[in-house]
Structure 1
Amino acid sequence: MNRRSLRNRIFDENELESESSELETSSEYEENDDERSERSSDDSFESDSSDIEPLSQEILEGSAVNLDIRMNSKNGLIEYTKEPFVRGRRFSFRHQSNVSKGPTAFAISAVDSPLSAFVLILSPIEEHILRMTNLFGARTYRNNWEHLTIQQLRAYFGLLLLAGVYRSYGECVTQLWNVDKGRAIFRKTMSLDMFKKIQRCIRFDDREERNRRDKLSPIRFVFDKWTAHLKTLYTVGKTVTIDEQLVPFRGRYPFRQYVPSKPAKYGIQIWIICDSESYYTHNAQVYLGRVANTAVERNVGQRVVLDLCHGLTSRNVTCDNFFTTYALAKDLHKQKMTIVGTIRKNRAELPPILLDMKRKPVFHTEFVYEPQLQAILLSYVPKKNRFVTLLSTYHRGLEIDQSAKKKPNLITFYNKTKGGVDTLDQMVGTFRSKRKVNRWPMALFCNMLDISALNAYIIFTHIFSD
């Protein structure tokens, strides 16, 4: 592109008409607006300084104005700059190293074996489950129901986990107790009839006192007590990951979700926040869908992140583009937290300079700074005609590695910390304890057992790492 084309791009139509007498007409330079905009997106251009006089100050000022417009967000509410920022004291909570990660003093004093760690996690809900199960069993079997004890309930939980270790999800229960082909430990723990009775009668609430307006009411009390207790046993590190988990279940219930990217595709969707390194589950929330006769909820991802991060501070949250917004970054900043995450390209807070990337070369990085939050936004081209956009309020500045792919440090950090929940789901799903059941509360509770077993393992190995 030569300077004559640059003049045609910068001046408006009136200025072009006034300058038309001074410019030479040639078919080579007769372009429409679309062609000029395409040529203006080229990375570089050549010019012959001997044929064209230097650009005037007026033209240079016009170029600066156009650049400023491109550095504003699409909605015009956020101003970006290319100038790196200097962090002040009000951002000193970032990169704090005084976060003590690991089991709490309460957990350390109570755990001396893997079993004690597992029992500690389930201790707030065991008695309630036992009471509700005995209540339903007495109503169902009347005088034929034998009062269940806490030892029998724990034995039932153990057999569920052991069946998951044997990967016997598709195996008939009678085969597990079979004398010839089964496992002796099942027969020695309890009878098959007792196992089937508990499987049928286990309940998590009193149906006669159930809140019909709450979709999660059959297990609400147990789930909330369990998630609240998880926070008291382990302190997560400086980086946490938020993502969804899909518990496989195809039965009938009002909040079944279809996620085609997941192997199970249909199931119960749970939002989870976990430690990015140890994969300890810190908090969880079941997605119940839209409430009947109400408007569609806006900014679900933002609300979920704030709910899961309640009580946390001085942490960084890594999440995908379903959650990441500029408004979420502002809300987390109020909690003295940072965020690193991919951001959807249709967000109004993005400047056009980060979206004009289709003609950029592979491994090219375009970036801007946001002074108010001291955030960095960038677009990176990993493949031809593909680019990813990312927002970070965690990093101090932009650095490009010296490898062939020239990855920015934001991309490297995101790839390192984004897989916390996915790894957790993989570890839990490998030895899933869920049997083939027709009741969704039981499917959800089996997933709680699996996560409890993983959390118990993390707590125990951290205490007895030697």
Structure 2
Amino acid sequence: MESSDDDSGPSNGNQNSDENDSSSDSDINVGENSGDSFSSDTDSDDEGVGDTQSSLGTYSSETSDPEEEEFWSTNLTSVSIAAFEEETGPNHDLSPTDSVLQYFFLMISDDFFDLLAVETNRCADQVFARKGRRDPDWSPTNKREVQAYFGLHIFMGIHKLPSIDMYWSQNRFVGIPGFKDTMPRCRFQKLTQFLHMIMSNNEDHVPTGTSGHDRLFKIRPLIDLTRKNFQRFNRPGKCQSIDEGMIRYKGNYFAKQYTPCKPIKRGLKVWMRCEPNGYTHDYRIYLGKHDDMKGQTLGERVVKHLCKPLKWKGHHVFFERFFTSIPLLQNLENNGIYACGTIMSNRRGFPADLKNPSFTGRGDAEQRQHENLVATAWKDAKPVHIVSTTSDPLGDGPTYRRVPGGGHVLIQRPPAVAHYQENYYGVDRAMQYRAKCPVGRQSRKYWKYFMNFILEVSIVNAFLLWKTTSGVVIPRKHYSLCDFCVDVAELLIGDYRSKKKERYPLAGTVTAAGVASHHSVKLTDMPRRQCKWCSKQGRRRDVTYGCDKRLVHLCQGACFQAYHQNALLNTS
């Protein structure tokens, strides 16, 4: 059975020991007297995101202890919530007629592909220097080719085939002409082999186990770029939701999580803050016990880190019971952020008389209040417990529920429950969008799963930003995210065509019949064997390709040419 640094997912009632450990050097304060402290050890992550001050002012009252007697009152009154006056929505200079690729480049700058080309070439040079010889099938790449490579990478997520070779198959029912026209299969595989986005030599970075080591250094440029752009080009709306996202992964990586009650049971965890429509404003890759966010419980420090850009702006944040605690909501309110979330009834400070209320029927509710903090117990199919600083306790509204045998029944719903159910699903919707536009294929390198996740979120964000931009004309009636994804991939590839090498050898070999043309073909009637030329050079490479005349197994390209040139010299 696999172990996990965080076996307790959001639906698990008990937090693990990592969550309950406090850090003595932490500058997050969420204890009994949490006051106004709302900083963390990652302030530098949010540089350039924008000013976090507004006209909401500051709260002068100190946080009360929910364990004190007479903390909760049965006297329900209207809460005092500052009006939300921040500007929201798209914040860019693109026109509605600009291509969808330009909107994608708002999330991932086209200059980023320059970095990929430079670092990929550097990685190849380092590998060749370490081996003491160059790969005859490799030539340096450039920005234009890397863009085309990622266009094919996106198409592979949309059009899935069992193996990469099948995209270049000669079978007209399997092979895809667009892939064959863009670049050869061997070139695509070479780019995949050497692809890097930061210095590939691990010795150039702080060694593992020492202070300052970044376990995500291989994709750090992409993380920093996208986190900044997600917040820069779309200003967050009033309502935000925070939850976890999972990346399916079954390989060997220290941060892999096992959550048996989730649809993705084994994978990599990412904390996300999203709009209700699915737009991701911020995210944080979870590294388990190696995570550098400091504080008391895991849920509290995740919420605080992701809410830092929202301080003093009057946003309403929604999350589920894994994150929710009474001190967290008090601390958020003391920093100008209102919150609402389901809560486990055994959490410290939750009213004791609401843990097991006696309800007579569906729709019944009991509430307690302390200033703006409202605790609610509501009977749906099961009892629901919610704490909130976003809603009045008074003013129940109607909602419908299905009943056995068909039909619906009208029941009453408290405002806090209504607000939560209307706004909590932003991360879930982002994950649904991701499932519709997967990027890439499986890999043996863990960081490529993170890279594909970020590309998927970037495409979703670009699509939602494009749709919400005033004046945009939808190309056709049913233009979906998949259509947008296809258009982005096509524009990334554009008219790029890799220069295909000539078939070798088109030079001939001397036989009794004269000079005959030899070609490299797949020897389908013969088993996979060693390349004849590689074997002579003291290296081993098993291939299925070879000479159609001599029926000798040879690598395509340089080995095929060298073998026949040598044979020609020996027979002349």
**TM-score, reference length from structure 1:** 0.76
What's the CA shift for 1:74?
7.2
8 Å CA contact 1:242–1:318 kept in 2: the answer is yes
Q: In structure 2, what is the equivalent of residue 172 of structure 1?
A: 163
**Distance (Å, rounded) in 1 between the aligned partners of 2:75 and 2:163:** 65
8 Å CA contact 2:106–2:229 kept in 1: the answer is no
**Distance (Å, rounded) in 2 between the aligned partners of 1:111 and 1:235:** 21
For structure 1, which runs of at least 5 residues remain unmatched after alignment?
1-71
**Distance (Å, rounded) in 1 between the aligned partners of 2:420 and 2:293:** 34
Q: How many residues align?
A: 381
**TM-score, reference length from structure 2:** 0.63
Please state if 1:161 is matched with 2:160: no
Q: In structure 2, what is the equivalent of residue 79 of structure 1?
A: 71
Which structure has greater helix proportion? 1
What's the CA shift for 1:105?
3.1
**Distance (Å, rounded) in 2 between the aligned partners of 1:460 and 1:431:** 16
Point out the more displaced range, 421-430 or 351-360.
Answer: 351-360
**Distance (Å, rounded) in 1 between the aligned partners of 2:264 and 2:398:** 40
**Distance (Å, rounded) in 1 between the aligned partners of 2:253 and 2:397:** 49
Q: Which runs of 4+ in 1 moved over 4 A?
A: 294-297
Tell me which of 120, 127, 132 is aligned to 1:140: 127
**Distance (Å, rounded) in 2 between the aligned partners of 1:324 and 1:77:** 22
Q: In structure 2, what is the equivalent of residue 185 of structure 1?
A: 178
Change (3 A) 1:78 1:248: farther
**Distance (Å, rounded) in 2 between the aligned partners of 1:128 and 1:267:** 28
3-state SS of the aligned residue for 2:380? strand
Output the amino acid matched with 2:121. N
3-state SS of the aligned residue for 2:289? coil
> What is the CA deviation profile of residues 293-351 of structure 1, one whole-angstrom value per residue up to 9, with x for unaligned ones?
x9996311111111112212221111000111122212222331111110111111111
Q: In structure 2, what is the equivalent of residue 60 of structure 1?
A: none
Q: In structure 1, what is the equivalent of residue 106 of structure 2?
A: 120
**Distance (Å, rounded) in 2 between the aligned partners of 1:412 and 1:341:** 11
Output the amino acid matched with 1:416. E
What's the CA shift for 1:77?
6.4
Q: In structure 1, what is the equivalent of residue 340 of structure 2?
A: 340
8 Å CA contact 2:393–2:416 kept in 1: the answer is no
Change (3 A) 1:77 1:223: farther
Change (3 A) 1:303 1:249: same
**Distance (Å, rounded) in 1 between the aligned partners of 2:96 and 2:122:** 31
Point out the more displaced range, 330-339 or 443-452.
Answer: 330-339
Q: Give matches, 1:40-55, under 5 Å.
A: none
Please state if 1:419 is matched with 2:428: no
**Distance (Å, rounded) in 2 between the aligned partners of 1:136 and 1:222:** 17
8 Å CA contact 2:244–2:271 kept in 1: the answer is yes
Change (3 A) 1:305 1:209: same
3-state SS of the aligned residue for 2:308? coil
> What is the CA deviation profile of residues 101-121 of structure 1, one whole-angstrom value per residue up to 9, with x for unaligned ones?
221134x36981111111232
8 Å CA contact 1:73–1:352 kept in 2: the answer is no
Q: Give matches, 1:227-306, under 5 Å.
A: 227-276=227-276, 278-291=277-290, 298-306=296-304
Q: In structure 1, what is the equivalent of residue 461 of structure 2?
A: 455
Q: Give matches, 1:365-444, under 5 Å.
A: 365-371=365-371, 374-383=372-381, 386-403=382-399, 404-444=410-450
8 Å CA contact 1:246–1:262 kept in 2: the answer is no
**Distance (Å, rounded) in 1 between the aligned partners of 2:166 and 2:394:** 59
> What is the CA deviation profile of residues 175-232 of structure 1, one whole-angstrom value per residue up to 9, with x for unaligned ones?
1122321211111121111111111111132223233243323223331232122111
What's the CA shift for 1:413?
1.9
3-state SS of the aligned residue for 1:310? helix
Output the amino acid matched with 1:377. A
Point out the more displaced range, 356-365 or 186-195.
Answer: 356-365
Output the amino acid matched with 1:112. D
What is the root-mean-square deviation in Å for CA atoms of aligned residues? 2.5
Tell me which of 45, 66, 82 is aligned to 1:92: 82
Q: In structure 2, what is the equivalent of residue 318 of structure 1?
A: 318
Output the amino acid matched with 1:147. P
Please state if 1:101 is matched with 2:121: no
Q: In structure 2, what is the equivalent of residue 53 of structure 1?
A: none
8 Å CA contact 2:300–2:323 kept in 1: the answer is yes
**Distance (Å, rounded) in 2 between the aligned partners of 1:105 and 1:122:** 14
What's the CA shift for 1:418?
1.4
8 Å CA contact 1:398–1:410 kept in 2: the answer is no
**Distance (Å, rounded) in 2 between the aligned partners of 1:274 and 1:296:** 23
3-state SS of the aligned residue for 2:397? coil
Point out the more displaced range, 199-208 or 123-132.
Answer: 123-132
Output the amino acid matched with 1:308. L
Point out the more displaced range, 264-273 or 329-338.
Answer: 329-338
Change (3 A) 1:375 1:134: same
Please state if 1:208 is matched with 2:187: no
What's the CA shift for 1:422?
0.8
